[in-house]
Structure 1
Amino acid sequence: MKVRKYAAIDIGSNAIRLLTHNVIEEKDKETLFRKSALVRLPVRLGEDVFGKGRISERNEDRLINALKAFQLLMEVHGVEKYMACATSAMREADNGAEVIQRIEDATGIKIQIIDGEKEASIIASTDLKNLIRKEETYLYVDVGGGSTEFTIFSEGKIILSESFKIGTVRLLNDLVHEDLWKELENWLKKNVKGLPNLSIIGSGGNINKLHKMSGRKEGEPLSYIWLKAQYHFLTSLTFEERVSELGLNPDRADVIIPATQIFVSSAKWIGAKKIHVPKIGLSDGIIKTLYYAEK
């Protein structure tokens, strides 16, 4: 048996993450991927970029310090390979390339800026195949701070992917026009028309938190009815009540509402009654992509 250490760095619009995995190789057996540690930091790049077009000096410094810490943590874990990806906020920042160069100069970490299509393909390389049944149709919804990626699976295969600039940080800052919601609704209805047995696979920290709050067992889906009721419950509380009474972290207590809105709206428009929550996302996909690219 050989145990290797891989890491993924996900620089999102709402938070940045370092995920480390044990990759367990054994002769004549399938390679196993086991999460070792996860560090999440709420550096909201989207608040800068979506309103002002660039990353502020303050958040640039915070980002560099965070990635210095990530570099040290990878060294302590004995990580042999890593991949760092940046999504919506870094893509749209006027000074994105400059910030990435500063990070590399300060930490040695090289960052790839990926588009929505690449993001969806990386996510699809995760363990979704263990969940997807050929006789059913799934809409994979990955909600981020700056954008949401939608991928339609039918007969066990990806048939279509699209990225929409509807994310939690944009919604919090009133930066999503009603026309874009309508465009998403039309896209969903058009592309799932006639497809059987529709359900949603939800990805992202907010849907994972909602699943935990529901008290359901791992692998047990959320119902559309429960999620809709939970959305109304969350919106009835103040930000302070969501922190003090529900025990949500301050950086989760605000974004969880627009995230729930995206999931509820998507389920309504396609007529899905179930939302599966496998608790996998971009970071998991980066690990798999890194490993199999080597092979």
Structure 2
Amino acid sequence: MKIRKFAAIDIGSNAVRLLIANVIEEENRDPKFKKSSLVRVPIRLGQDVFTNGEISKNNVERMINAMKSYRLLMDIHGVEGYMACATSAMREAKNGATVVEKIMKKAGISIDIIDGKREAAIIASTDLHNVIEKECDYLYVDVGGGSTEFTIFSNGKIKISRSFKIGTVRLLNEMVTETDWKDIEKWVKRNTKDLKRLSLIGSGGNINKLYKMSGTTIGEPLSYIYLNAQYQFLQSLTYEERISELGLNPDRADVIIPATRIYLSACKWSGARKIYVPKIGLSDGIIKTLYFETSKKEKSTSNILSF
């Protein structure tokens, strides 16, 4: 048995995460991925970018400090490799490339600003074997602050995937039009109309929180009826009450409502009445992508040296 450590940095529109994972290698077995540590800091880059077009000086400094901390944590854990991916907010920021350069210079962290297609592909690479059944169809919805990735699984394989510019921070700032909603609705309906026994798979911090709040047994799905009732309940509370009564973090108490709206809309458009929540997302996909890319390079080098 060999245990390897890899790290993923997910620079989203609502928060920045560091995931450190163990990869357990055993002869004649598929590698096992196990989360070791997760650190999340609420740097809401989307608030800057979607309203002012660029990341503010204050948040640039916060980003640099966060990356310095992540570098130290990765060193302490002894990770052998990392991949840092920035999504919607960073790719739309006028100063995105400049911020990436500053972080590399001051924190020694190399960041890739990935497009929506790449983001959707990485998310879709996550391990869903405990959820997906070959005879069923699924709409996988990953809700972020700036974008939402939709992936359709049929017969155990990815049928189609697409990223849309709709996210919790955009919705809070009223930057999503009725036309945007209609475009997503048409795409979902068109690509799910011939699918039967379709269920939703939800990922992202908000659906994870909703799942935890529900008290549902791990592995069991949420129902559309429950999610809709919870949506109405959350809307009946003030922002302050969601923090004091429900114990939500300040940066979760506002975005959880628009996130729930997106999941409910996806259910309505696709006809799904069950929502599975495997608690995986972009960070998990980055770990898998990094591990397999590293393994491929190692095999290639080994083959060259053997000649």
TM-score by length of structure 2 reads 0.95
> Which runs of 5 or more structure 2 residues have no equivalent in the other structure?
296-307
Does 2:36 align with 1:45? no
CA distance in 2 between counterparts of 1:287 and 1:147 reads 21
SS at match of 2:202: strand
Where does residue 130 of structure 2 map in the other structure? 130
CA distances 1:17-73 after superposition (whole Å, capped 9, x unpaired): 000001111223321111100000000000000011100000000000000000000
Deviation at 1:130, TM superposition (A): 3.1
Shift of 1:16: 0.2
Q: How many pairs does the alignment contain?
A: 295
Please say if 1:71 is aligned against 2:71.
yes
Q: 1:2 deviation in Å?
A: 1.6
Sequence identity of aligned pairs in percent?
69
Which residue in the other structure is 1:120 paired with? 120
Q: Which amino acid aligns with 2:198?
A: L
- In the alignment, does 2:36 pair up with 1:36? yes
Whether 1:18 aligns to 2:18 is yes
Structure 1 partner of 2:230:
230
- Separation in structure 2 between the aligned mates of residue 172 and residue 34 of structure 1, nearest angstrom: 34
User: Which one-letter code corresponds to 1:145 in the other structure?
Assistant: G
Task: Give the whole-Å Cα distance in 2 for the aligned partners of 1:74 and 1:232.
Answer: 41
TM-score normalised over the length of structure 1: 0.98
d(CA) in 2 for partners of 1:287, 1:75? 17
Q: Distance in 2 between matches of 1:294 and 1:163?
A: 26
2:302 aligns with: none
Query: Distance between the aligned counterparts of 2:117 and 2:152, measured in 1?
Result: 13
Please list the CA deviations of residues 164-213 of structure 1 after superposition, one character each: whole Å capped at 9, or x if unmatched: 11100000111111111111111111111111111100000000000000
Equivalent runs, 1:153-192 vs 2, <5 Å: 153-192=153-192
Query: Residue 105 of structure 2 corresponds to which residue in structure 1?
Result: 105
Instruction: Show the counterpart of 1:280.
Output: 280
The match for 2:301 is none
Query: What amino acid is the match of 2:135?
Result: E
State the AA in 2 paired with 1:49: V
Deviates more, 1:154-163 or 1:99-108: 154-163
Deviation at 1:128, TM superposition (A): 1.2
Equivalent residue of 1:130, what SS?
Answer: coil
Q: Which runs of 4+ in 1 moved over 6 A?
A: none
* Separation of aligned partners in 1, 2:174 and 2:276: 28
Q: What is the CA–CA distance in structure 1 between the aligned matches of 2:116 and 2:226, rounded to whole Å? A: 29
SS across alignment from 2:128: helix
Instruction: Tell me how far apart the structure 2 counterparts of residues 266 and 26 of structure 1 sit (CA, whole Å).
Output: 39
